[in-house]
Structure 1
Amino acid sequence: MAARASAPRWLRALLSSATGWFGVIVVVLLALTAVVSLFWMPFDPMLSDIRGRWATPSWPHLLGTDGTGRDILSLLMAGARTTVFVAVGSGIVATIVGILLAALGALTARWMRETVAVLVDILIAFPVLMIAMMISAVWGGSLWVVVFSVGIGFGVSIARVTRPELRRVQQSDFVVAGRASGLTNGQNLIRHLLPNVAPVFIVQLSWSMAVAVLAEAGLSYLGFGASLTESSWGLLLADLQRYIGVHPLTVVWPGLAITITVLGLNLLGDALREATDPTLSRRAAQVHLPEAIA
């Protein structure tokens, strides 16, 4: 009980919802699978065994094998590393780009704010997948291309949503008081502005990471993402979908992994927004206040 009482309020609120629990479980399992795959996997994911191809789920191949005899469970575990790398990498790039553009578009001189607003409107008109495909056509398909193209694309989207929130919070009394006490724009940004726009930023970032997983799978499926020497759920799906009429069960596993991961990231973002948004907490308190008085 003492440990639970000392936990932050937002963490208690996050774990009190079913969606928050589901998102946390999915993200933790994904991270654990990626870490465990660095040290142990049932089989070498690139080891082919022609005599054991298209094995049904049984021991020792718990999820069966593909057309070359590779263990599907090992392929999924190795692909989890790629998924974590792309989600975290694109999330970091999107965070840097989003905060930088939002700050320039909210805290600088008028001419800079208008320039950034026009630049964001221009960049957001280009679909992320199209940008990634164009970059891949020039530089070749790789996970780094996916990370930077998806990160920059969704960083622009984050900046477009976060910039108006920064402008709104900037007019608050506590920000004005901080400026009057001698805080610079950068100090105000870190101490007051970013914490107050965190709920909006978090849900956008989690959605961006979820779509990054889909983008990596889709680009790898089309041949613009991971190379053939790397493990990817998208590549595995592309290999197996040709035999869906003969061995439909094998296609289920990578598709299910992608679906659950994207769903978990989206639900975790929604739960975090509800747990960290002070306006939602105040609204909930107002709803329960009459009941408490009664």
Structure 2
Amino acid sequence: MAEPTTNIPATKPSFIPHQVKEEKVLSPWMEAWQSFRKNKAALFGLGLVIFFILLAIFADFLAPYGFKEQNMANKHLSPSAAHWFGTDEFGRDILSRIIYGARISLTVGFGAVAGSVVFGSGLGILAGYYGKWVDGIISRCFDILLAFPSILLAIAIVAMLGPSLRNALIAIAIINVPTFGRLVRSRVLSVKEEEYIVAARAIGMKDNRILIHHVLPNSMAPIIVQGSLAIATAIIEAAALGFLGLGAQPPSPEWGKMLADSKDFIINAPWTVFFPGIAIVLTVLGFNLIGDGLRDALDPRMKN
């Protein structure tokens, strides 16, 4: 006698793994860039900075006149089709001088901050990582430099070295070293206690490799933010030194020097002061907006 068969209905699985969509994982830097792109103010600042960088790069093609080209018959001409920003007391085209001046201001800004970052970060890493007497000596040097007002210290350094654009760049770099040094030192003090640093020491990794491959990369975020803000400060300091006659020397079209040369004509020829001043304001504004955007993008505490 055959056993009765029972028809067991097929049941569908409650979950069918069909085309599971994997979420794309972004690197920290790509995530920061995505966050930066959402900041309209930061993008506006980036646009301003790119604009002035392009002016500096293509100044030879964009400037309608040479920055040293004089014509005393055309001195203090108001803005017109021939001279969009007018002319100065020597008949030089102000627009051309502002375009060429972008090279000087950006060179000083980037050059001074690059020097500050290299020396300040290097000293800060040594002070934070090794501590003890190394930290004591370096930190006291930072305290001495920070005890003086920055612009007065820059004036003193340039006065000793001699008025020139190169010496102004050196002075601005020196006065910004403590800022980066103390910033990096505080970062290194927290990073060096992380487990991966302890593990690297445990396996016998040398200090120079730990500093270069682990400590420095994990300290880059605050350096980048402070660097973008420091460029704006460096441009202002270069303009201040130029205004005092301690920076770029004539006939160099440095924006601060242009303001100093035109201060006596602010009533009769206000355009000679207005346009160089606007160039400084817009450039500094651009770097400040970029710095704020980078801070929001790179600081985990600013993220939702």
TM-score normalised per structure 2: 0.85
Please give the per-residue CA displacement for 1:144-172, whole angstroms capped at 9, x wherever unaligned: 11111111211111111221121011111
* 1:19-38 mapped onto 2 (5 Å cutoff): 19-38=41-60
CA offsets 1:102-144 (integer angstroms, 9 cap, x no match): 0121112511111111121112112332232223223321111
Inter-CA distance 38–225: structure 2 relative to 1 (3 Å threshold)? same
- Stretch of structure 1 that moved more, 6-15 or 71-80: 6-15
Q: Which residue among 91, 107, 129 is the counterpart of 1:85?
A: 107
Q: Please tell me the residue identity of whatever aligns with 2:263.
A: Q
Please state how far the C-alpha of 1:195 moved relative to its aligned partner: 2.9
Match of 1:145 among 153, 164, 167: 167
Counterpart in the other structure of 2:237? 215
Report the RMSD for the aligned CA atoms in angstroms: 1.9
Per-residue deviation, 1:194: 2.5
Structure 1 contact 129–215 (Cα < 8 Å) conserved:
yes
Unmatched tracts of structure 2, length 5 or more: 1-25
Q: Which of 115, 136, 156 is the equivalent residue of 2:137?
A: 115
After superposition, the C-alpha distances for 1:12-38 in whole angstroms (9 at most, x for unaligned) are: 221210122022112111111101114
2:297 aligns to what?
Answer: 275
Report the structure number with the largest CA radius of gyration. Answer: 2
Q: From 174, 184, 202, give the equivalent of 2:206.
A: 184
| Distance (Å, rounded) in 1 between the aligned partners of 2:131 and 2:219 | 21
Q: CA deviation at 1:215?
A: 0.7
The residue aligned with 2:120 is: 98
Aligned pair count reads 278
Code of the residue aligned with 2:266 in structure 1: it is: I
User: Does the CA contact (< 8 Å) of 1:105 and 1:112 recur in 2?
Assistant: yes
Candidates 155, 163, 168, aligned match of 2:185: 163
Q: Deviations over 1:268-287 (max 9, x none)?
A: 11211222234434xx1xxx
Distance across 2 between alignment mates of 1:18 and 1:178: 41
C-alpha distance in 1, partners of 2:168/2:104?
Answer: 11
Using structure 1 for the length normalisation, give the TM-score.
0.88
CA distance in 2 between counterparts of 1:171 and 1:280 reads 24
Aligned equivalents of 1:153 and 1:133: distance in 2? 10
SS of the residue aligned with 1:8? helix
Where is the helix percentage greater, Structure 1 or Structure 2? 1
Q: Report how far residue 40 of structure 1 moved.
A: 4.6
Q: Decide which of 218, 232, 235 is 1:196's aligned counterpart.
A: 218
Give the fraction of aligned pairs with identical amino acids, expressed as a percent.
34
Measured in 2, the distance between the counterparts of 1:129 and 1:38 equals 32
Of 200-209 and 178-187, deviating more is 178-187
Moved segments of 4+, more than 4 Å:
none
Aligned counterpart, 2:84:
62
Deviation at 1:50? 1.9
Superposition map of 1:126-145 within 5 A? 126-145=148-167
Residue 97 (structure 1) shift: 1.4
The alignment partner of 1:62 has SS state of coil
2: CA distance between counterparts of 1:188 and 1:116? 20
Distance in 2 between the 1:180 and 1:267 partners?
43
